[in-house]
Chain A
Amino acid sequence: MRVEPSRLDRLLKPLHRWVWADPRRRARKLLRFAETEADGARDLARAAELTRDPLLRRLYLRHAEDEQRHADLFAGRGRDLATRGAGGRFEANWLAPGERGLDDLRLEQEADESLLAFLHLSEQAAAGRFTVYVEVLDADPQTRAVFTRILEDEVFHMTYTRRQLARLSPRKQGLLLWQARAGRVWHAYLRAAAVLAAVLGHVFLALQYFLLLPAFALLAKRAARKEAEGLSAARHPTPMTSQY
């Protein structure tokens, strides 16, 4: 199965080159990738525990072991770089993400077929992105070697998920892949919406903090100064029906 970077990733190649040029940022990104891969390993182990299909169980377990190995590779290289370089803290994770793993998928509620479709697309996207990273990392052969090694496994993951999807659902595989694509778009929208909502909420609450709280803050500070240090008499228990 061939690995092709997406058009967007190709278009963003100069940006990727810039993102990966800074050793400190590279280190932080690799360490973050390591966390994602380790999470992915746990999710796949869970998928193996939930499936009733013995072959899928073995494949998921192998996949989980691969992801854990990737986590170790990323972490090792990330640690190496982190102990040396210095640079910015901006990680550009939205522009240059790692593997998204199983996203927020509720494994308990997923059928094997839809999980395989989702995994296939996820692995395909990650593999495509990693090929771009390999291309832009020509100044750092060691990190490049890590991605190249991991890319081999990603090809295996793409292949087995596609073949198993065809085995389990020979007639509906195309539909399942489209549904998985729609699901990925939906998850991306949810992520973006959640971030936007959090930012708006943050701004709204921060405004309230500065507009409404100062007077109460003065009173609270004055009360705090009167509090004795050390042990105090325990609060008298209130009825259990009370939330206070």
Chain B
Amino acid sequence: MRVLGISAHYHDSAAALLVDGEPVCAVQEERLSRRKNDAAFPLSAIEWCLEQARVEPDQLDAVVFYEKPMLKFERILTMALRGFPRTWGSFPRAMQNALGGKLWVKGIIRSQLGIRTDRILFCEHHQSHAAAAFFTAPTKSAAILTADGVGEWATLTLGRGEVDEAGRARIQLSRELRFPHSLGMLYSTFTAYLGFPVNEGEYKVMGLAAYGNPTYEGLLKRIAQRTPDGGLALDLSWFDFHQGARHSYSRKMVAELGPPREPWDPIDLQSADGRRYADVAASVQRVLEEILVDLARRLQRETGLHDLCLGGGVALNGVANARILRESGFRNVYVPSAPGDAGCALGAALYADRIHFARAHQPVADHPYWGPAVDAGELSRVAGEDGLDAMRLPEAELIRRVADELARGRIVGWMQGACELGPRALGNRSILAAPHQHAMRDRLNRSIKYREEFRPFAPAVPLEHADRYFELPPGGARLARFMSGVFPVRPEWRDKLAAVTHVDGTARLQTVDRAMAPAFHALLEAYGARTGMPVLLNTSFNLAGEPIVNRAIEGYSTFRRSGIDLLVAGDSLVVKDHSTQALPEVA
């Protein structure tokens, strides 16, 4: 049986293909179209998946869309009616959006793939999130918590998933929070207030929070009030997102918190405004964490289960995830590599396979590498054409050479195997560097990433050494498998891991399992043999405003335009030679 999952039309569209219940490939459209957070119908991703599995569209048994378009339209229309007449400005835009394409998904799928309409299925948005979290986790019984901005109506769901001995699977979402009351929208509204792009800049708020004090916590708790059943009710007088206004926050919020930050305005943490922004970030972060921890704690008590599967964009908040693990009573917290909408393509396909078609569950390979593989030959070819010497080295020699260069303070673009599904570079499309000095962080910010100084870089460490450098609670190493948790760096190592230790002494680490990423693991070990610390700074292989690289040529283009010293794609290695970058006389 062949099931194709699709997510599209909001942000991060993607496609994923299951063959006989097993995922064979999945990729975000942005990695192929090279448009960051590409929300378009993922035709390139679909074509790549089908080609990869040598499947023709008419051989697909089902194509599953990750949400129910009509139900979503009902929410948009209802909110426009409820907000009458204040929604007059946003109503035409919302209708043009919906009627201009989003509502006609079935027709788009039928016309693009040429398949029968009875093979097109629709999975509710939060069921897709739940399935992506539960069916990819190594557990047979777990509580499920999903939270994001909004799907159709639900913004947060609570439930459980189970697989019995015969492999029969069940996902039961028992309660939900409905729009406009939304944890994700609460956080996004403050993301917008702080001048960061919504659906993209939320992790900047998390990074900024560490510099502030939660002085607005009381106010935030008035804005996001808890209900007796453990839920949440936003005081909508502070918001405008539900009325579709230009800003998601209201004038009342600006009057109370002061002027919002302009996107172009740099954050100076020494200035009064800079400290205010950091305090606002710290406050919203604190409130988000406390609500999530409380919800998870109640869910644990109610279900008595040991495992929790987290899904939805809110599950990208590593600080909150780590607190859930420490304080909720769950022994394990599982977050997939793509908990956001991109992962819903895989979730929707898994839901259809296990629930709709009632096929027996089989464990999903526990890794994030579902995308296109890198072609080492392509790097050799283009580097050769540019007069650069591209070496093809046996793996052991390649690892030795790269570890030597990293120990010498060089910055390495590292591409191996298939690209990751999700927003994190987990060792297959990474920029790697020595993690020991602040100077390296500054150099990366200045010459490669061009990003705000307050944002931390992440470390990667072999699973077996993680405890030595980081304070991991039970289950912490697992949560860090896909960089989903933020944990304290042990005090004695903070000075030696200065480039990856955030201002509050924490790091969003990745624990690298030899079985999952053997070459990356070997590189970390080799680096450890040279420096005494098998820890590397690992940041995503992209420049500001661009998606993570996919093909070797994209890695090469990034390498040429930035301060990366060495580029590795598979077994091919290129060292930057500044003299070859001069152009012949063409002007």
Contacts and interface: CB of A to CB of B under 8 A. Distances in A.
B181 A59 contact: no
B239 interface: no
Contacts, number: 163
Contacts of B586: 55, 59, 159-160, 163-164
A54 interface: yes
B154 A31 contact: no
Most buried by B among A210, A231, A238: A231
Q: Is the interface of A mostly helix, strand, loop or mixed?
A: helix
B560 A206 contact: no
Interface stretch (A136-144, A168-176, A212-220): A212-220
B385 A82 contact: no
Nearest to B556: A49
B61 to A, nearest CB: 13
> Quick one: which of A160, A233, A235, A238 has the most chain B CB within 10 A?
A235
Nearest to A46: B34
A243 B106 contact: yes
B174 to A, nearest CB: 6
A202 B159 contact: no
Given A49-B553, A235-B176, A55 B233 contact: no
Interface stretch (A3-11, A62-70, A181-189): A62-70
B255 to A, nearest CB: 20
Interface residues of A, number: 60
B557 A242 contact: no
B81 A237 contact: no
B229 interface: yes
Interface in B43-80: 64, 68-71, 74, 78, 80
Nearest to A28: B264
Interface stretch (B14-22, B116-124, B521-529): B116-124
Contact of B545 (A42, A62, A78, A202): A42
B177 interface: yes
B88 A45 contact: no
Given A229-B231, A231-B230, A58 B173 contact: no
A243 B68 contact: yes
Interface of A: 31, 38, 42, 45-46, 48-49, 54-55, 57-59, 61-62, 64-65, 68, 75, 78-79, 82-83, 155-156, 159-160, 163-164, 198, 201-206, 209-210, 213-214, 216-217, 219-221, 224, 227, 229-235, 237-238, 240-244
Interface of B: 34, 64, 68-71, 74, 78, 80-82, 84-85, 87-88, 91-93, 95-96, 105-106, 118, 121-124, 127, 153-154, 157-159, 173-178, 181, 227-233, 262, 264-266, 351-352, 356, 382, 385-386, 545-546, 551, 553-554, 556-558, 560-561, 581, 583-584, 586-587
Top-10 shortest CB links A-B: A230-B227, A230-B231, A217-B84, A220-B81, A205-B92, A54-B385, A231-B231, A240-B121, A243-B70, A229-B233
